[in-house]
Structure 1
Amino acid sequence: MIYLHHRPTAVLLPNRTQSRLTQDDRTALGAHRLAVLSLACRAHNLPAPVIMRSNHGKPVCANAPLHFNHSHSQKNYALAFGFDAQTPLKNTQFYNAKPDLGANLGAGVGVDVEDLDRAVNFSALANSRFSDDERKRWQANGTAAAWFAIWCAKEAVLKAHGLGIRLNLRELNTHAAADDMAGFAQHARIGRFYYRCFSVNHAMLAVAHRDEKTLWDLVWV
């Protein structure tokens, strides 16, 4: 089961004075992440999570079968997490794995959120970051929501696997259902991941996981 947590940044950062997030703001969001994950671990009779970074820079839990990922935009914060027996506790193979190898890569969840009013050169980025199929899908719709659904899905899939941007985004093609809000992405280096997209607080949010059923059992918290 995947748990999905979303809050407007205005709620989490009520004293924020600048339009862009500061380092103090990012630290506060990190503290909020730890608080949510600690409560979840306690509810599952697990110790408070100890967060470390893998060789790929991805935060991981070192002492409990917890996988998680968070993302923030200027106006929105999202955290996806779950408990999985396959998630490593403290596996040296995980921390020493090569970027595109390692048995434990891909055991987690990925999430990405983007504000729909973010200033983006849609055409230029679609040409450089979207596959041909994705670019045609976006051009057939033409909306910011359709563009960000593709973008966030790709980002969430890569974050779920743990490669980040080490894989060329044009090489990762998303295969969407009719409404473009769910589907899967597949690549020889990472296998297949499923994703779902949601419109929340004038933003697009995508969450990705290796197992399709787990993704559809998603619970908002």
Structure 2
Amino acid sequence: MSHADSPDRVRALSLTPVSRETEGRLDIIVALLEKWQRTINLVAPATLPQVWTRHVADSLQLLPLAGAARRWVDLGSGGGFPGLVVAAALAERGDADVTLVESDSRKAAFLREAARLADLPVTVLPARIEQVSGAIAAGVEVVSARALAPLPRLLELAVPFLAAGATGLFLKGQDVDNELTQASKSWRIDAEIKASLTDGGGHVLIVRAAERLGAASSGGREFSQGGHHDG
């Protein structure tokens, strides 16, 4: 059976349909991932047989939540999820600009090679997030992350982008409510939780604003503490 006919790929693309051109770019990314995975742990080995649903479709589900956004920063991109996948989908728009921040030099090398082979609108920054966030935050429309850090720490990393007007799209697991509870002890958060399309226990956390408690006034913006809005 070819990859194109695999049940995992078919299911993933039925959950999150994309153009034929985007499918081609995603095929290149997945093939390279499987090749590099033999020497670098880019994804959990047990998830590789379901790479399309567990990783590709999981990433693609963020696109409808981002509206017309074209300037995107992905934090701790690792094996390229969601950053490479987002870039593959945005590539046909013509003016997309996706920055992947990854401090592991071997993973950064994979990201660069995947972006080159698939002809993606990607810049890879092989640096720690704290070192570059202030310099690249202006004009970013979406900041994303997947399996990077618990929410209190993730907000610390993402706040330069959120403060500059970006929306946060964070792929989270079943403990998202507990993470919001912990984060709300030190942050005022305007957030919404959506159920994952691909993972029964997963969620997408949409963060529209976050402000450290005790910081300067938000200027009248109304904050909500992460209510559910699945659907």
Q: Return the TM-score normalized by structure 1.
A: 0.30
- Which has the higher relative contact order, 1 or 2, with Cα contacts under 8 A spaced 6 or more apart? 1
